Amino acid sequence: MRTSRAALVSVSSNSARMPHAGPVTYTTAKAAPTAFGKAPAEEFGPQGVRINTISPGAVRTALWESPESYGAELACSMGVTQEQLLAQIPAATGMTTGRLLEPSEVATAVAYLASPLAASMSGTDLLVDGGSVKTV
């Protein structure tokens, strides 16, 4: 990777920064790729390797929309329909955009971080979460 000036992009979740926003096992597991993006970026950055992380918020995927998904189980446990749950997620998670992310939005951010356009980004955790995380 050093000879090719490689770019590594790992996908985490904004839940790594908001551990109250999901199941403990999920949010804890997502803290690992977020942390991983920092130390190796420092170590290998001087050798031309860029390491970044993207942390999306709730994305419109089968995880939420499939009839046998986490989203379906969560809706059932809350006593609402899956459609009602999906409509409530943006407001409940503080997404100022008012909607779930589209998978293409996450893919575009990954492609950007991997491209030469982001040549000076290293050790970055890029939030693509509709405004959910409110820290500076």
Question: What does the pLDDT look like over 48-59, one tens digit per residue?
Answer: 999 999 999 999
Report the pLDDT value the prediction gives residue 91, as an integer from 0 to 100: 96
List CB contacts of 115: < 8 A, sequence separation 6 or more: 7
Report in angstroms the alpha-carbon separations of 134 from 30, 95, 131.
18, 10, 7
List CB contacts of 6: < 8 A, sequence separation 6 or more: 48, 49, 50
Query: In CATH, what number is assigned to the domain containing residue 18?
Result: 3.40.50.720
The residue with greater pLDDT, 26 or 83, is 83
Supply the pTM of this predicted model: 0.87
The residue with greater pLDDT, 43 or 18, is 43
Per the structure, the complete domain to which residue 18 belongs is given by: 7-128
With a cut of 90, say whether residue 127 has pLDDT above it: yes
d(CA 52, CA 10): 6
The predicted-structure confidence for 21-39, as pLDDT tens digits, reads as follows 667 888 888 888 888 888 8
With a cut of 60, say whether residue 90 has pLDDT above it: yes
Q: For strand 50-56 and strand 7-11, is the pairing parallel, antiparallel, or unpaired?
A: parallel
Residue 70 annotated as catalytic:
no
- Would 2 be classed as within a structural domain? no
Counted domains in the chain: 1
Catalytic residue (choose from 7, 8, 21, 26): 26
- Would 103 be classed as within a structural domain? yes
CA 71 to chain centre: 17
